[in-house]
Amino acid sequence: MSGTSRLPVLTYLCSFLLAVLAVCGYWYSLGKPVVLPDAATPSHKLQCASYTPFDKDQSPFDQPFTLRPARMDADLALLATRFDCIRTYSMTGLEAIPQLARKHGLKLMLGAWVNANPVDTAKEVDALIKAANAYPDVVSAVIVGNETLLRKEVTGAQLAKLIRQVKAQVKQPVTYADVWEYWLQYPEVAPAVDFLTIHLLPYWEDDPKGIDDALAHVAQIRQTFGNQFAPKDILIGETGWPSEGRQRETALPSRVNEAKFIRAFVAMAEQKGWHYNLIEAFDQPWKRAAEGAVGGYWGLFDADRQEKGVLAGPVSNLQYWPLWLTVSGLISLLALALAGPVRQPHNALILPLLAALGGCCIGTWGELARVTSRFAGEYAWALALVVLNVLVLAHAALVLSDRQGWRSRGFIWFEARAGWWLSAAGFAAAVMMLDMVFDPRYRSFATPTLWLPALFYLMRPVSAPRREIALLALIVAVGIVPQLYREGLGNPQALAWAAVSVLMTLALWRSWQVSARSPVVQPTPPPEPKHTPR
């Protein structure tokens, strides 16, 4: 074999090895375990955790509304190994909670749901009073309403009156729970309670705090309230960090960040003698419908009641990274098998790397779609984007191959439809850009779905309907600046989305230029190589 003929083979092998290392390194970097100081140990229980008794297939909006006693019993048995107390939010369907708490040795901060309907509120409050008086050894405090002022369902005066009515009928301390700003906006409520319950969620602040600044923010607000409302005690009634979901400015959800925040907060709170309640015991998938993907992933345990590594032990952002490594590796290998031998040196260099990129992007989107998709339409959209990336990867493999025999026929089929794949990618980019500009709060970045089509069609523009791709390019391009303005330059997820949007805009523009120079024609295969007998 001559040096010239060996060059593509050596190039291919070097590129293949580089691609393998890149794929393995990528997934390991996402899933590698991180060791942090433990917050809870068998000999050290934490104070309190928010508890809602829904299975992963349940929602408070279900009709009929039915809770499962066996689930509540098992949940409290598990929580009793880590906590001294649980906090509840409603009395409806939770009549058995005080008895179960007593069974498992847990104290209970019992909550009544207060809303704009006086009849519903009266039922909740009556049940709260009855349970508090029936279980004085279990119920350590009662909470009249949760974020009712935030939702603007009652006035401050109405709420204060209701709190005083409950205080007159129970022996336990009485409080109300809301985001910290609302205690300042409604000063008439504080005199009515025995202690203040404030919610401190750095991720959800109007000015979101990144993980490195979150604890200082919590400490500053707690100190302010302690000074302003002394001698009344301050309970941090909700604090925590999400393990999944979109980034807000510098606030990045992840399991590692959730563990960092919870473990550091517990150490700080116990050192300072604060009373606290962590949100929340278990992931609640039903909350994703109202709050986006991030709403379902504040749990210290997942929705299957399995450890997330938040409280103790090593923690990983992607527990099943070996599975996704296998999936993306198989996708990449299938693309290489489809391409077959490659004799052009530059194609030999590009093909393994492009196959690795495609495999990683499809795998990453698979994991992202798994945790973010909320209903049938979003699952269908996620699947459509997977199919699109598979088609683009197959097209790329055939373009970079030598296209002989059946590969040549496959190339003709894909090449004839290349404009469709580009238009579909541009359409997806435009739709998602409009979402990120006009309704971004609860939407996750779908960046992995665009890297492959953007890069491939930027390198190899295709003929496509000119007016359509011009409009799509305009929408994507115009949205880049306002999207970045809304998210802030400190948000790496937003920066990555902006970068892939720039590439998609350029890919559409280059194909627009190609379409302007020549009409869409049916591709013809290259001639079969002639073999001269020796």
Rounded mean pLDDT, 477-486:
96
pLDDT of 6 = 65
pLDDT at 414: 85
The pLDDT of residue 57 is 87
d(CA 518, CA 304): 57
Pairing of β 107-112 and β 83-87 = parallel
Residue (of 169, 76, 188) closest to 131 by Cα position? 169
Mean pLDDT of 286-315: 94
Q: What is the mean pLDDT of residues 516-533?
A: 53
Nearest Cα neighbor of 240 from 198, 284, 202 is 202
Write down the number of H helices and E strands in the chain. Answer: 17, 8
Q: Which residue has the higher pLDDT, 526 or 176?
A: 176
Percent of the chain with pLDDT over 90: 80
3-class secondary structure per residue, 181-209: HHHHHCCCCHHHCCEEEEECCHHHCCCCC
Round the CA-based radius of gyration of the chain to a whole number and report it: 29
* Tokens, residue 215: 């604890």
Among residues 67, 112, 111, which one has the least CA distance to residue 93? 67
Half-sphere exposure of 73 (CA within 13 A, CB side): 4
| Confidence at 167, pLDDT banded by 50, 70, 90 | very high
Check whether 326 has a pLDDT greater than 80: yes
The per-residue pLDDT for 533 is 45
Q: Confidence band (pLDDT; 50, 70, 90) for 7?
A: low
Give the per-residue pLDDT at 519: 54
Mean of pLDDT values over 363-367: 96
At 528, the pLDDT band (50, 70, 90 cuts) reads low
Tokens of 455: 């890069």
Confidence at residue 139, expressed as pLDDT on a 0 to 100 scale: 98
**In which residue are the tokens 């969620």 written?**
201
Per-residue pLDDT reduced to its tens digit, 92-110: 999 999 999 999 999 999 9
Q: Cβ(107)–Cβ(51) under 8 Å? A: no
Q: What is the mean pLDDT of the chain?
A: 92
Q: What is the mean pLDDT of residues 252-268?
A: 97
State the Cα–Cα distance between residues 36 and 178, nearest whole angstrom.
31
Give the model's confidence band at 88: pLDDT under 50 very low, under 70 low, under 90 confident, else very high.
very high
pLDDT of 341 > 90? The answer is no
CB-based contacts of 460, cutoff 8 Å, min separation 6: 399
pLDDT over 80 (residue 65): no
**Containing H/E element for 369?**
helix 345-372
pTM score, two decimals?
Answer: 0.91
pLDDT higher than threshold 50 for residue 63? yes
pLDDT digits (tens, 9 = 90+) for 419-464: 999 999 999 999 999 999 999 988 899 999 999 999 999 999 998 8
Between 60 and 431, the more confident residue is: 431
pLDDT surpassing 70 at residue 146:
yes
Partner residues linked to 238 by β-bridges? 199
Contact 48, 382 (CB under 8 A): no
Q: Mean pLDDT throughout 223-239?
A: 97
Residue 161 has pLDDT above 90, yes or no: yes
Q: What is the mean pLDDT of residues 497-507?
A: 98
